[in-house]
Amino acid sequence: MKLVCCVVLVAALALTSSALFAEPVDLVTLKDGSMIHGEVIEMTEGELKIKTAFGVGEAVSVKWDAVSKLRLAHPLPFHFKEGTVIVATAEEGEPGMLVLKTEPLVEPIRVPFEAVKSVNPLIQPPVVYQGALSFGLSQTNGNSHLRNASVLGEFSGRSESLRLTLLGRYIYGDDRGKLIVRNSRGTIKLDFFVTKRFYWFAAAYFEQDSFQDLSLRTALSSGPGFQFIEKGDLKGEYVKDMSLYAESGLAYFNEDFKIAGDKTSLRGRISIKWNWPILDEKVTIYHYDEIFPSLQNTNDFYLTTDQGIRFKIFGKLVSGIQVTYRYNNRPPPGVNPSDTLLVLTLGYSLDTSRKR
């Protein structure tokens, strides 16, 4: 019996070892003589990251200047300080020297560790596009005849110095052909980044609502903004993709009503946008608001907020729950000052940013 148990144990260890080392592994030797086996992920800003077979969570990180030797079983791009990029594997050489093997060269290239600027860095395209287009639809027949439809869209394009944001919403509902809800909103905003954090925005906001006596609400605004948290600023596993910005400025605010008298005013504009993707962006929690306080009458302001959660189902298919709240503390006669909208959607997402 003991013999059988020993045989089973040896077989299990053999299978485990073959599973762990079926693929060639990289080897990092440090100057103190310790060695790390695993897969080299990248080296940026003087920090080398290695994914180990027994690691949990994030990759192991070591200082690049603490590395004495490096063996790579898979080719990676080496970016040198003088601008050259070489895709190569690496063999162990003398301490402090890289021995790079790349095709079609027969002889390996020997370079000092300090000549390398980065290894396999995550390089984003010049312009990154992100967005989502979602739809909601419900219909009942029989004792009731209700139809509801909603379309939500958002799109952003970001370069180093510019960011374009487009937001859109359309909501429709009827009961036996009688209109019960219809409103729409559209926003276009362009941000000009003066520094990495500080920018100047120009925005246009348009809104219509058949049950607020509103033909068209228009807000044209401009002012400064600040990116408090950019994606990648925070290092925690659950907060690394969070972003937050705030902005304020002046706005030309005009409301055209169907029955009530039209209103035009000079207002301020204050806005905050918070985005929190977690679990490798499988779940995204977000909040966005805009407040337009009148500069001519401090008791007059308009507020609109969107908050929700979006789930990535698979691929680019997403579903979401969004709550939109609008408040006008000086509405036309007979109109309720607040409106709350709950929308359940299913749609398509777009993201051209590079991810590991």
Looking at residue 57, its pLDDT comes to 58
Residue 238 burial (CB count, 10 A): 11
Residue 31 CA: distances (Å) to CA of 27, 115, 207? 13, 17, 64
Beta strand extents in 240-300 (DSSP E only): 243-257, 263-278, 283-293
Looking at residue 167, its pLDDT comes to 96
- What whole-number distance in Å separates Cα of residue 282 and Cα of residue 276? 11
* Neighbouring residues of 223: CB distance < 8 A, sequence distance ≥ 6: 200, 201, 247, 248, 249, 250, 269
Residue 107 burial (CB count, 10 A): 6
Please say whether the beta carbons of 73 and 57 come within 8 A.
no
- What whole-number distance in Å separates Cα of residue 217 and Cα of residue 128? 31
- What whole-number distance in Å separates Cα of residue 331 and Cα of residue 313? 40
For the chain, residues with pLDDT lower than 70 are 1-24, 54-58, 356
Q: Which residue has the tokens 């950019």?
A: 230
Closest CA relative to residue 254, chosen from 190, 202, 183, 302 = 302
Q: Which residues pair with residue 200 across a beta bridge?
A: 192, 224
For the domain bounded by 128-351, which CATH number is listed? 2.40.230.20
Q: Which pTM does this prediction carry?
A: 0.77
Looking at residue 107, its pLDDT comes to 87
Looking at residue 23, its pLDDT comes to 55
* Neighbouring residues of 305: CB distance < 8 A, sequence distance ≥ 6: 287, 288, 289, 290, 324, 325, 326
Looking at residue 356, its pLDDT comes to 65
Looking at residue 5, its pLDDT comes to 46
* Neighbouring residues of 297: CB distance < 8 A, sequence distance ≥ 6: 265
- What whole-number distance in Å separates Cα of residue 48 and Cα of residue 312? 31
- Please tell me the total number of residues recorded for the chain in this structure: 356
Looking at residue 27, its pLDDT comes to 92
Looking at residue 142, its pLDDT comes to 78
Q: Where are the domains of the chain?
A: 23-119, 128-351
Buried b (16+ CB within 10 A) or exposed e, 17-41: eeeeeeeebbbbbeeeeeebebbbb
